[in-house]
A = this chain, B = another copy of it.
Amino acid sequence: MNVISELFSPPYYAVIFTSIKNEDTHGYMEMAVKMEQLARSQEGYLGMDSAREKTGITVSYWSNLNAIKRWKTNAEHLIAQSKGKHFWYESYSVRIAKVEREYHHF
């Protein structure tokens, strides 16, 4: 991505996904693109920022906790999460955080 997310109106929620990929990530890129498109179509989805070196960080933004719960249990996303856990990621962390304040310089 070459742009960063606009700001939203706090309070809203951020899911901070931090990961290290395995060497063999066959099928990963196609799934990542598919999941990003699917996330965008979910109710309560606000936006997403992503960057990767060896460490990858994806932060997605959601209007409330229920939207995050629905997305976590979305059938296609469950498949992606399972493949991620068992094949693509050496390790990952997920943090769910309530955005209280924000500012920017655009």
Contacts and interface: CB of A to CB of B under 8 A. Distances in A.
A38 interface: no
Contacts of A89: 105
A56 B56 CA distance: 10
Interface in A75-103: 85, 89, 91-103
A22 interface: no
A100 B102 contact: no
Interface residues of A, number: 39
A49 B59 contact: no
A52 interface: yes
Interface in A48-78: 49-57, 59
Given A2-B54, A59-B18, A96 B102 contact: yes
A92 to B, nearest CB: 5
A82 to B, nearest CB: 11
